Amino acid sequence: MLAFPPIAREPSNRVTSVDVARRAGVSQSTVSLVFSGKGQGRVSVATQDEVRRCARELGYRPNLAAQALRLGSSRAVALLVPDITNPFFARVLRGAQRAAQSAGYTVALVDTGNDRRWEQQSFEALRAGPVDGYLLFEVSPPEGLGPHEHIVLIEAKAPGRSSVRFDAEKGAADAFGHLVELGHRRIGHLAAVFDAPTFHLRNAARRRVLAEAGLDPDAQPRATTDIGIDAARAAAGPLLDARPTAVFCDDDIIAAGLYMAARERGVRIPRDLSVVGFDDMDFARVLDPPLTTVALDAELLGATAFELFEGQIAGRRTRATTVLPAELVVRESTAPPGS
Amino acid sequence: MLAFPPIAREPSNRVTSVDVARRAGVSQSTVSLVFSGKGQGRVSVATQDEVRRCARELGYRPNLAAQALRLGSSRAVALLVPDITNPFFARVLRGAQRAAQSAGYTVALVDTGNDRRWEQQSFEALRAGPVDGYLLFEVSPPEGLGPHEHIVLIEAKAPGRSSVRFDAEKGAADAFGHLVELGHRRIGHLAAVFDAPTFHLRNAARRRVLAEAGLDPDAQPRATTDIGIDAARAAAGPLLDARPTAVFCDDDIIAAGLYMAARERGVRIPRDLSVVGFDDMDFARVLDPPLTTVALDAELLGATAFELFEGQIAGRRTRATTVLPAELVVRESTAPPGS
DNA sequence: GTATTAGCATAGTACGTATGACTGACCATC
DNA sequence: GATGGTCAGTCATACGTACTATGCTAATAC
């Protein structure tokens, strides 16, 4: 069992720096100096120790709201993601948090839940706390944000804004190239409906690689799907009717839906159908057979986004666009057709 | 009388209620009344419209730090989870957020990343923002939290604290009962290492059900595993060496690890081995064969936690313990032994 | 004609912290 | 014994908002 400290007595009201000062027999300024670490050469070591001791005894914690008000900064940044339920985005959050932590920042998560009604969402975003900036994943900047706000776009771009993205073009090209090399001539695309740059890049790569292989991109089977395993499974049916020997899926979750549809129809992977995913999520290795997919370092994405934000704060007006690598990982869901 | 030099801060383009007031030709008080919705019968409709118009033109947004300071509340609650990368916890977050939103609250996420060094974590938790309370998932309360703080424990309990949990006893009992009924006499347990009440309850249920079936609980194969698919896969090896005909896993991720280990060894599910998971995560249906598991409504858990918090705030000192249902969902990973 | 009320708006203050300007004490130097 | 310098602290103020107490005008009551 977890051991919890017993519920105890204790004054109910909030302890402030004034209380600490009174107890230590010093002024509030002194307490503030001690806690902000700016007491060097201004407050004697003995006094500092005494202040800290009193603070501990009283259970003092600085009031963050007051600090934020006074400093004009909360040392916090908001991260907006479309769906925190998707582990990919959770890893982005974790990467951002790790980077933020070492810079003394906090990341406030805003989960939009794939809700397109941006009016509400932007409102919620701003309610999420007094933040110094925004890391926006695949969403257009909410209305209320002025051009002077610190914003970093993730997997999106806008003029004059910093942004990070993966090299989706290269990742998708490698995936289609892999299928072409295996000898596939009928290569389907199970695409996400989203109107985000990364998906356009993937489709562009598809068209280029197929054309280079002497195939007509427009003649290849293609279907779009909403998010979620069930949506993907439903969308996969018609696609499989077109009898592709291989399918590229816009992400691993979609691939999982395709696995389900294939199983229901007795289509064996990779014997009857090769499948490639995108993201390399944890469960890609658990699928049977393990999924060939494009690996992305989600945590790096989050960390990089934070660092771009930090660069803006620091005054280096780096309106940079960073592109992160995407690597094809070949597992057992791909094989020559009819093997 | 000293004139303060302008503090060298960010280009403080920040629009305040004073700016709005000046533009609208009214006092700051009036602006505040309009925005707090308390202007009914105190500010004429014409003035209200004018204030709102000016605010929109200037792009005014209330300063949340100032509001929190003044009100002594940020209308925010922190949710601590062990691993946001696990979709189960993400769903808890979503449930809490949904409930919070309709109450005008915000949920600040703190992801401890399964880090046992609680010193750092509690610090981070408190830095996460000025929050009115804490929803703690399977973690002991950080040191700095006084007993007067509003705290709700999730899947944990402590004297005098509100808490929510699933009926793990019933869920596990149903799962083992299901395996016994199928005719299994050698039923393994792939357990999580964690020292949380829910896992104790599951183990207690296991012992009870096995004993009632005339089996010696201590003679049945059992192994513990750390979190993560790979850890589970490694731990599953020795367990499979003991040749169980069925295994109950403490969660679906562990079950996924077991699937991998079974596949590597040529053990077929459910022919050679029946498997039961816990949580009913999305990918449980994607596994081949689809996983029999115990379904939990993670969102309900989050929402209930928030509601208990809200009850505390409202003064109803409901130190209640709520227990939520757990339902066995039978899929295709379980069958009579040797079938 | 005066008292009361209602309607509308404002002045002023406090929330808790950070920090530039200031003060005294002590000490060394010339 | 005046000058200057360092050390150790304090004072007073402002951040932006919410809200109490208050004022003012015009309308209504007696």
DSSP structure string for B225-259: E-SSHHHHHHHHHHHHHT--SEEEESSHHHHHHHH
pLDDT band at A7; cut points 50, 70, 90 = very low
Q: How far is the CA of B27 from the C1' of D10 (A)?
A: 35
Least confident stretch, A21-25, A33-37, A179-183, B144-148:
B144-148
pLDDT of residue B195: 86
Spatial separation of the C-alpha atoms in residues A78 and A81, rounded to whole Å: 10
pLDDT of residue A12: 40
pLDDT at residue A10 above 60? no
Tell me what the pLDDT averaged over chain B comes to.
88
Nucleotides of C under 7 A from a protein CB: 7-12, 14-22
pLDDT at residue A147 above 90? no
Nucleotides of D under 7 A from a protein CB: 7-20
Q: How much is the average pLDDT of B125-145?
A: 71
Tell me what the pLDDT averaged over chain A comes to.
88
The SS3 call for residue B8 is coil
pLDDT band at A275; cut points 50, 70, 90 = very high
pLDDT of residue A5: 33
pLDDT of residue A11: 37
Question: From the candidates B84, B91, B139, B299, which should be mutated to test the interface with A, based on the most A CB atoms within 10 A?
Answer: B84
pLDDT of residue B7: 32
Amino acid at A249: C
Bridge partner residues of A293 (DSSP)? A277, A329
Hey, are the CB atoms on A84 and B94 less than 8 Å from each other?
yes
pLDDT of residue B326: 98
pLDDT band at A128; cut points 50, 70, 90 = low
C-alpha torsion A277→A281→A282→A284, nearest 10: 0
Q: How much is the average pLDDT of B116-131?
A: 60
pLDDT at residue A13 above 70? no
pLDDT of residue B2: 30
pLDDT band at A114; cut points 50, 70, 90 = confident
pLDDT band at B148; cut points 50, 70, 90 = low
Question: From the candidates B73, B74, B119, B148, which should be mutated to test the interface with A, based on the most A CB atoms within 10 A?
Answer: B148
Write down how long chain B is.
339
Hey, are the CB atoms on B141 and A4 less than 8 Å from each other?
yes
Strand C nearby residues, CB < 7 A: A 14, 16-18, 28-29, 32-33, 35-36, 38, 60, 62-63, 66-67, 69-71; B 2, 4-5, 7, 25-30, 33, 41-44, 46-47, 66, 69-70, 72
Most confident residue range from A139-153, A200-214, B57-71: A200-214
Q: What are phi and psi of B331, to 5 degrees?
A: -120, -140
pLDDT at residue A101 above 80? yes
Given B61, B156, B256, which is nearest A144 (Cβ)? B61
End-to-end CA distance of chain A: 55
Given A9, A85, A109, which is nearest B91 (Cβ)? A85
Segment B314-327, tens digit of pLDDT: 866 667 889 999 99
Spatial separation of the C-alpha atoms in residues A165 and A138, rounded to whole Å: 10
Question: B102: burial class by Cβ within 10 Å (0-12, 13-18, 19+)?
Answer: exposed
Q: How far is the CA of B9 from the C1' of C11 (A)?
A: 30
Hey, are the CB atoms on B90 and A68 less than 8 Å from each other?
no
Bridge partner residues of B225 (DSSP)? B192
pLDDT of residue A211: 98
Given A126, A129, A256, which is nearest B108 (Cβ)? A129
Distance from CA of A207 to the nearest CA of B (A): 30
pLDDT band at A121; cut points 50, 70, 90 = low
Contacts of A111 in chain B (CB under 8 A): 93-94, 97
pLDDT at residue A300 above 70? yes
The SS3 call for residue A187 is strand
Helices (H) then strands (E): counts for chain B: 11, 12
pLDDT at residue A333 above 60? yes
Interface of B with A in 298-337 (CB under 8 A): none
Segment B169-222, tens digit of pLDDT: 999 999 999 999 999 999 999 999 988 899 999 999 999 999 999 999 999 999
The SS3 call for residue A118 is helix
* Residues B42/A102, Cβ–Cβ less than 8 Å: no
Interface of B with A in 210-239 (CB under 8 A): 229
Segment B228-248, tens digit of pLDDT: 899 999 999 999 999 999 999
Least confident stretch, A114-128, A166-180, A306-320, B51-65:
A114-128
> Can you say whether the dihedral through the CA atoms of A198, A202, A203, A208 is positive or negative?
positive
For residue B37 the two structure tokens come to 């919705």
pLDDT band at A141; cut points 50, 70, 90 = low
Q: How many CA atoms lie within 13 A of A60 on its CB side?
A: 23
* Residues B94/A85, Cβ–Cβ less than 8 Å: yes
Amino acid at A253: I
A226: CB partners within 8 A, 6+ apart: A193, A235
Helix (H) or strand (E) holding A25: none
Bridge partner residues of B110 (DSSP)? B80
Distance from CA of B126 to the nearest CA of A (A): 9
pLDDT of residue B3: 30
Q: How much is the average pLDDT of A104-114?
A: 85
pLDDT band at A102; cut points 50, 70, 90 = confident
Residue of A nearest to B256 (CA): A286
pLDDT of residue A39: 84
Contacts of A4 in chain B (CB under 8 A): 140-141, 158-159, 161
* Residues A324/A167, Cβ–Cβ less than 8 Å: yes
Hey, are the CB atoms on B286 and A256 less than 8 Å from each other?
yes
pLDDT of residue A157: 86
Least confident stretch, A282-291, B1-10, B110-119, B149-158:
B1-10
Residue of A nearest to B96 (CA): A111
Contacts of B81 in chain A (CB under 8 A): none
For residue A146 the two structure tokens come to 């002025």
> Can you say whether the dihedral through the CA atoms of B59, B65, B68, B69 is positive or negative?
negative
Hey, are the CB atoms on A127 and B158 less than 8 Å from each other?
no
Taking residue B29's Cβ as centre, other Cβ atoms within 10 Å add up to: 12
pLDDT at residue A303 above 90? yes
Interface check for A148 against chain B (CB to CB < 8 A): the answer is: yes
Closest C1' nucleotide to B1's CA = D12
Interface check for B10 against chain A (CB to CB < 8 A): the answer is: yes
Given A5, A74, A101, which is nearest B65 (Cβ)? A74
Hey, are the CB atoms on A94 and B84 less than 8 Å from each other?
yes
Strand D nearby residues, CB < 7 A: A 25-30, 33, 41-44, 46-47, 66, 69-70, 72; B 1-2, 4, 12, 14, 16-18, 28-29, 32-33, 35-36, 38, 60, 62-63, 66-67, 69-71
Q: How much is the average pLDDT of A294-316?
A: 92
Helix (H) or strand (E) holding A80: strand A76-81
Spatial separation of the C-alpha atoms in residues A97 and A226, rounded to whole Å: 29
Quickly tell me which residue has 């949990």 as its tokens. B165
pLDDT of residue B116: 59
Q: The pTM is what?
A: 0.89
Interface of A with B in 43-62 (CB under 8 A): 59, 61
Q: How far is the CA of A109 from the C1' of D13 (A)?
A: 35
A107: CB partners within 8 A, 6+ apart: A76, A77, A78, A79, A93, A96, A97, A100, A135, A306
What does DSSP assign to residue B282? G
pLDDT at residue B8 above 60? no
pLDDT of residue B316: 66
Distance from CA of A112 to the nearest CA of B (A): 10
Taking residue B211's Cβ as centre, other Cβ atoms within 10 Å add up to: 12
Distance from CA of A76 to the nearest CA of B (A): 8
